[in-house]
Copies of this chain bind each other. A is one copy, B any other.
Amino acid sequence: MNRGYNPADKVFLAVDCIIFGFDNEDLKVLLIKRDFEPEKGKWSLMGGFLKKDETLNDAASRILFKLTGMHNIYMEQLYSFSEVNRDPVARTISTSYYAIINIEKHNEELIANYGAKWFSLAKAPHLIFDHDEMLGKAIRRLRRRTSISPIGFELLPEKFTMRQLQKLYEAILDKELDKRNFINKINSMDILIKLKEKDMSSSTKGSYLYMFDQEKYDDKQTNNFYLKL
């Protein structure tokens, strides 16, 4: 009898993506300037509609690829927003995803086409609809995530210095960390490989480069731990 399946209840389901990147200084978010109605000219998250034959994850991947040109981006479903009038055009529920990418790897041309720009979190403009709320939730989730599974691989270049990693954590958590305590904690996680190479760009002495130990890293990411910073 297909009880309850009433076509009048059908809704649009959108996916909106909060895309984080790190430029060695600030944690940034990628926003697009809408060149279409409604709210043309305003800033918003990159989004799109769920299509017939895809899952929400598929849709998020598709949307992320469209804007960045990148595949296999680290992402996580965040929350579904459903205020009745959140979208003025039609009843639309939006499932938000947050993603973190290496800021150097995205396709500049694509993001220019979308009128997209990276914003430091502190300087992000007001966004349309409930996108500010989405962004806020994403930041909080990212902070929490940082405590229970290592993050950084996705946001840093392949080789990086301890100070870069520390700056990343400081940017995510929005607080300063003690460099000696930081290095001790990171080392106790046992997920980094110290290279013989040094990066000479930031100081005369030069600082050692590190890489993530992919295997140990993946392991720690699935078998959660608790890192207090």
B84 contacts A55, C-beta separation under 8 Å: yes
A185 to chain B, nearest CB (A): 16
Q: A5-B49, A52-B91, A57-B82 are in contact. List 9 more A-B contacts (CB 8 A).
A: A4-B48, A5-B92, A10-B10, A13-B13, A53-B84, A54-B84, A55-B83, A80-B95, A82-B95
A7 to chain B, nearest CB (A): 8
How many of these chains are in the complex?
Answer: 2
Q: Tell me if A31 counts as interface (CB < 8 A to partner B).
A: no
Decide yes or no: A5 and B89 within 8 Å by CB, A11-B13, A80-B77 being known contacts: yes
Task: List the B side residues contacting A8 at CB < 8 Å.
Answer: 52
Cα separation A45 to B160 with both chains bound (whole Å): 48
A1 contacts B37, C-beta separation under 8 Å: yes
A36 contacts B90, C-beta separation under 8 Å: no
Q: Return the contact of A51 from the options B9, B50, B52 (Cβ within 8 A).
A: B9
Decide yes or no: A93 and B37 within 8 Å by CB, A11-B13, A57-B82 being known contacts: no
Q: Return the contact of A12 from the options B9, B80, B95 (Cβ within 8 A).
A: B9
Cα separation A92 to B90 with both chains bound (whole Å): 19
A80 contacts B52, C-beta separation under 8 Å: no
Task: List the B side residues contacting A79 at CB < 8 Å.
Answer: 77
Task: List the B side residues contacting A162 at CB < 8 Å.
Answer: none
B5 contacts A50, C-beta separation under 8 Å: no
B49 contacts A93, C-beta separation under 8 Å: no
* Residues in A140-156 with C-beta less than 8 Å from chain B: none
